Structure 1
């Protein structure tokens, strides 16, 4: 009798586990039958601002390092101003000399103008000869020319002084925008050629997400479509929106951060983070995108 009771209890337990197993199988089949939301792999890309100087010189000091957060108008580096200071000193001296020359020319011009006008009256009264009057006119015209030349020299020397001031200002270069120092290309003491980039900045607004999709997914995407971006180190997905969809297909790029097989023809898609300051990923870092 006891054996029959145990057998019945065993049969009921077996039936329960069998039903449970069947339920799990059904749930698994249902889950597998649902279309999964596509997850695409991509990477972070940045457009850099290359900071250079318009004048050549020796790098006096580099006040930033790669990875440093900088603010707009923060000093980045300075060049040796020795030659520029000398140019400014010379330009200032020329301006002062031109001012003295103008004063002399103006005084002589007024004197000879008065003499010419007086001789014109004397000529009418036949007190002086025509030759004397013509001589005073020639002297007046020469004085006028000298005065105009002195004024022209002053304008030129003031332009040189202004240029020298500008060149000194160019020796100290500040950040045009907030950003991160991505890299530096020179060290203090090195000679810099005019126009050569000394460092590069990465502005948060210039960070974008790049990924590639097969043609089968292209029709589901649109400009300004919201997406979610995942990457290592982020506590939560980053909101972004699609800003560019390539109009033509290309072959798979040489570097795609995924181990899954992809179709050979893909379309380049670019997306911009909604909140620029929230993304901490670095250019080249792989990301995953939820469409």
Structure 2
């Protein structure tokens, strides 16, 4: 008979313990919800392997946003950054040279054409000066003067045309050189920016105010690529987690404030709800009848108004349903 009663007694004891943990007297003698403090750490690493050169923090230290954490040997990436900077300087020098107006050798043919046209124009002018007085004296017919003037005008027109062809060719070549030089400058600057970013990745800084949770490597040790060197616990990633029965779940919504207490903490602590789980916790796959759904609890997360330690148990004052 005792053996038959033993499982029933154990079951009743377990049910009693669950009830005590989930809903027990606490703050101000009222029923409270059980919960604990949970922290979500950040793990900082370098994207490449290398020896840890410096570590600026130690476990338990408080850091502000932007504080340096550690440095992995930057020698190789620093050399790449310096090379990229030199390439930027060279590209800028080429772009400046392209704007100086120095003509490339292939434009010399246009200069020769202009010089030839100018020589023909001078010859035509000389012929015109020689023929004009002879026509006036009646030695040559007037038609000869007309031909000389026409040849002179044609020679002048050819000089202007050759000069325009030279200017157009020079402008087109110069414009193309300037555009190509500017493009090389942009490419070199982009490479320099990328090299600087890779170098900065070897010396991470704290993304937010936090507490150093752990330092995994010390100076001189070899850290693999993407292997965490330091873990941080940001203050805004420390939250309360407590569990609410399904019957009063509607009272808990993001944005609402709950009161809570903990061992050794001051009175009147509050936390703002930021998350309500859409799924029940610690519940076997049963049919959700009116009788069974009283056993369902839902996890709620809230950001506390004070700094707490992860793992610390808390008692949360329940909210009134419908409030």
User: Where on the TM-score scale, by shorter chain, does this alignment land: which range?
Assistant: 0.5 to 0.7
User: What is the CA distance between 1:125 and its match in structure 2?
Assistant: 6.2
Cα distance between partner residues in 2 of 1:202 and 1:117: 72
Matching residue of 2:151:
none
C-alpha distance 209-101 of structure 1, shift in aligned 2 (>3 A): closer
Matching residue of 1:77:
70
8 Å CA contact retained: 1:109, 1:144: no
- SS of the residue corresponding to residue 156 of structure 1 reads helix
Cα distance between partner residues in 1 of 2:253 and 2:77: 55
Please tell me whether residue 265 in structure 1 is matched to residue 296 in structure 2: yes
C-alpha distance 185-122 of structure 1, shift in aligned 2 (>3 A): same
C-alpha distance 185-152 of structure 1, shift in aligned 2 (>3 A): same
Please tell me whether residue 284 in structure 1 is matched to residue 317 in structure 2: no
Matching residue of 1:11:
none
1:231-250 deviation per Cα after TM superposition (whole angstroms, max 9, x unaligned): 22313342123333333423
Counterpart among 36, 39, 43 of residue 36 in structure 2: 43
Q: Which structure has greater helix proportion?
A: 2
- SS of the residue corresponding to residue 244 of structure 1 reads strand
Q: How large is the RMSD of aligned CA atoms in angstroms?
A: 3.9
8 Å CA contact retained: 1:238, 1:279: no
1:182-227 deviation per Cα after TM superposition (whole angstroms, max 9, x unaligned): 2233332233344443322222222211111223343554544432
- SS of the residue corresponding to residue 218 of structure 1 reads helix
User: What is the CA distance between 1:81 and its match in structure 2?
Assistant: 1.5
Cα distance between partner residues in 2 of 1:219 and 1:96: 65
Unmatched runs of 5 consecutive residues or more in structure 2? 1-28, 121-161, 285-293, 319-323
Counterpart among 247, 262, 268 of residue 278 in structure 2: 247
Q: Which structure has greater strand proportion?
A: 1
1:155-185 deviation per Cα after TM superposition (whole angstroms, max 9, x unaligned): 4334333333333333322212111112233
Cα distance between partner residues in 2 of 1:106 and 1:225: 65
Cα distance between partner residues in 2 of 1:124 and 1:182: 84
Aligned length: 239
- SS of the residue corresponding to residue 89 of structure 1 reads helix
Structure ID, larger Rg? 2
Cα distance between partner residues in 1 of 2:48 and 2:224: 7
